[in-house]
Structure 1
Amino acid sequence: MIHTHFADAAQVAAVIQRKFGIPYVFTPHSLGIDKQMQGVSCTGLGQRIEAEQSAIAQAGAIIVSTADEADRQVGAYCPSARGKLHVVPPGVPRLPMPARTGRAQMMVQQWFDRPDLPIILAVSRPVTKKNLAALVMAYGQDSVLQRQANLVILAGQHRHAAGEERANLDQLFALVESYGLNGRVALPEAHDAHDVAALYAHAAKGGVFVNPALHEPFGLTLIEAAASGTPVVATRNGGPAEIVAKIGHGDLIDPRDPQAISDAIKDIIGNADRHAALSAKARAGSSLYCWNAYASASVDIYRSVTQPRLLACDMDNTLTGCRESAAAFRAWRSTSSMPFVVATGRSLHATKMILRRWQLPEPDAYIVDVGTRIVWPDGEGGWQECAEFAAYLDQDWDRAVVARMVAPLGLKPQPRVTEGPHKISFFGTARDAAAIRAMLDANGVAARVIFSHGRLIDILAPNGGKAEAIAAYARKFGLSLSHCVAAGDSGNDADMLAACGHAIVVGNATAELDDLPARKGLMRVSRHHAAGVLEGLARLGLQDASSAAVAAAA
């Protein structure tokens, strides 16, 4: 299991999942779609959103910190992902304890004309969405608040700031100057964890912590403040609404209303009894956010990701080959609610004909032509091809160039009926297939070359193959490859057997699968054909009926 954070890490995990069948869980942060909703622009935002959408779609599960992240943000990317979304609040970050109160006292003595006043504390990166300028304006426009408290903003390490961060720091310093707030506002150029802990503890003594972000996905600083006993004033947009409601240690504000920000701060700082009550709630409520609970919930989610929820079976010599075991599989299928798809190298017409001949059950969908076509119900009693998957296969695929390049090899083509827009097929040997791969690679032509059944060569679009098709079908139901069970016997099954969370290599498998790497989740069963599929399903504990069916097939 891989637990990834941010979309770039998820892209790596997705490659590992396809190649080795290791599933991944995704925790997104600072999602691009949220920036877009808030009107914040940045370079490459479109590509970032696209990468995040792919990460969400392919993940076995998604763990977020708040219901707002789940409903408003992740839900906007992929509505079908809701079934694999889990809200698990994290714990409180470990700040140096006990806080060095003398350190804070020394800092405020250096910064302020009246160091005896309590402090208003904010901690965030100096980026536009954190809305720190609104806090300075709220303070600068309220002379009463200035007489009640000083303002401290820890806005990152200034020497590393560039671009947006540098522009926001310049704006903050300009506001301090324009309002004449020198000696009342501190914007230290650098700080460490000890400084943060000391200032939280100092703010607890009659002060307040403020998070004025335009939107905050979670709001970890509000829990840090709670652990120090510091009341809070926080944006009403996003995770802070849930945190403040749960702990009860402060007030929510409209971050675009400076007057509302200053009023909320004064309501806490100017009322000693209320401050004391909120401080007590803060200390008590911070224990609601616990890393042990987070770890326990995460492990339960990891286990759920590996639970089989979709069966994808090859047809020839996997489901077919033995009448008795085919009948046993039909009996198992009649008792199982697990979605079932056939993944075969044959055409749709041939697949339907063979299933009828062997009296095998009709699948929920067909993956045909070696994973270059997905055909599923059209909702009106018929079947339709998945146009979205076909468009995906068009990417980086030039069929004419591939056909022209391999023509000099003089290979015998398979019957024209076996070909398709994303597949070119020949008869040949493993050596012929290797020669095609070498030729295409040498010329930088993108394609997949698959050798199977000792004599079939299929050249596919680079995004084609059974594993990619199964992944696309699974995504329709909010599932990933980690939820899938694949069963097969030959070389054109290798990719799905390697990529799916669970894989069954039937006992009659060809030597083409001998090099398939051993891994957790891959089973090499002893029984042949459909009996081997049932043996694998029995090992997975999928319905008691599978064990009975295997026995009947014996």
Structure 2
Amino acid sequence: MNKQRCDISIALISVHGLIRGKDLELGRDADTGGQTLYVVELAQALAENPEVSRVELFTRLVRDDCVDDDYRQPIEKISDKLSIVRIEAGPDEYIFKEQLWDHLDTFSDNMKDYFRQQNHFPDILHSHYADAGYVGSLLANQMSIPLIHTGHSLGRVKRARLIARGLSSEEIESKYNMIRRINAEEYVLATAERVITSTHQEIEEQYEIYDFYQPEQMRVLPPGTDLKHFKPPIGGELETPLQQRLVYSLKNPDKPIILALSRPDPRKNIAALIEAYGLSERLQETANLVIVAGNRDDVEDLESGAQQVFQDIWSMIDRYDLYSKVALPKHHSRDEVELIYRIAAASGGVFVNPALTEPFGLTLIEAAASGLPLVATEDGGPRDIMGNCQNGLLIDPLEPQTITDALLQMFDNPSQTRRMVENGLKGVEAHYAWPAHAQRYLRLICPLIEKAEQLEHRPTTRRSAVYKDRALVTCLDQNLMGKPDSLKSLLSLLKQNRKSTLFIVATGRRLDSALRLLKQYRISEPDILITSGGTEINYAPKLTTDKAWMNHIDYHWPRHKIKSLLDTHPGLTCQPKSEQTPFKISYYMNNEVTDVEHIKGLLHQEDYSVNVQFSFGKYLDVLPMRASKGMALRYVADRWQIPLNRILVAGGSGADEDMMRGNTLAAVVANRHDEELSQLHEIERIYYARNSYEEGIIEAIEHYDFFGKCRPPERGDVTGEVEE
């Protein structure tokens, strides 16, 4: 039956959390946050659209003295067109989403009974999060109603974040029912007509790793934003007490403000912005830099990552002598954020987001609605925002000079910048305000309701393994920098097999240096980055740092004592600060003056239990005793439950040796046969490829049938030989 465009009935499903029409208890717990706000605001925006006749938001009914009585009302009428319908499922009391899985079939049955009792069925089902997706899939398959789905977060991605927090696979499964969640997500992908995401990057980095992913069903529809608090300057902003607090430490407070606003998180890359500012005297003469990085009383009370951010900030300020040019206010309230944006806009300033990765970019939308032009990272959501609004410039977050150039371009071309401001004000209203979101939403669902568009589900199969069951590990410089055409072939192979295979890069470089090289050679971001010689582990897609690993290797690590002993030792020269990290001390070593064994003996005499690595004939690294690439790899293998004999390591230097020894499959590419790894030739499980660089890795993949049987060839099979 074709529906009139003015008579659309929509059922939204959001099973967990405490949901009501007003006074949302945001932040009460992990289940009552951004998703509950999103579905309520979406429901309100859709109900206000004249083409919609009915919106019902389905959630779980809760009878619990520990929460308000609002949540025990079966039906909460919000307007003539909008209701919250609470369905009985499971115990009366409020329980977290991880405990709901056994009750979702009951929720589905009772929701279907509700439709029958009302003698009214919706035209579209829209599920939010995996549990609602499971319910929606059951109903869609039983009632032949089109289903659209918004994941909000995905189990496979969350598992990586939980591993980074130090949880074991067993703990994750026990607490989060992760396998049931992932199976539900696969079921949704097999059922839904459309899957809505916030950005293109969300599709590329998250949904593509699912077995039932189909590109044809994905649609990018950024969430609506409540813009009523964000507006351009109205006059008087530069005379407010808040403005005085922001600029009191600045020598020339009347200059335009370059504004950055974010959490003090290493991934926000604030130090790179300060470096960009410090690189240009002309930029310093033109504008002040104001960094609003959370709230702090005493930096030492913050968690270690935030402490490191502030230490990096102060180090950059001191290095470039930016005192009285950079402001770093200690406190602000959420209510003051809208005025902070307007103060910066009134000053003729620019908003900057230099994050290493930015999944969406809500602050960019808020800043644009406040009359600020944007300079933002090219990684993630900002690409979509700038594409929609044409209101700023994208930069490479790993190259501070690109930030400097973009800011100078803004200040040097005022007419262009004014157009960006005007574009931004129009663009956020057209693309990110709730009414605009609702209109685009209806354009998406109407063809499904009218049967004008139907997804042809392609035949797909589930792998027997729920999670990835093998890993390819390689260093950077000696393996992936040699043959561009072969690199493309290797990356294509990995992409074809990304559902089964972890791609791991293990390097002695720091994280920022490794990311810069990956970007330069257009190497897709690995699933896992082991950097700084094995002292740091980061997980895609948000470069989440494994803090449990850092706590583990911090055991008896006498960093300052080692530096005191070795910094002035003959034959050793400290490498630049850019190569040093909290858990890696790096030197250049002159072999004619000293040698590795002498350095090890010296450290042993002082009773320092450390790991000394020497590579490429000149680089000496001192690491904690518990840290190395090999130990980091084994830690990752244990956390991800991947057997070592299903891990192929392509080594490039002596620092890779302990990854290659033991039960891993291993290979040495031809360009490294005569270097530090030549002594491993007698080990049966280490394959010496005939080809160099990327071609050698592809050869090793074939040798081990890595994407098939994943094991050494049987005796008598042809193996590689070292080239003469």
What is the TM-score with the length of structure 1 in the denominator? 0.49
More helix by share: 1
* TM-score where L is the length of structure 2: 0.38
Higher RCO, 1 vs 2 (CA within 8 Å, ≥6 residues apart): 1
Structure label with greater radius of gyration: 1
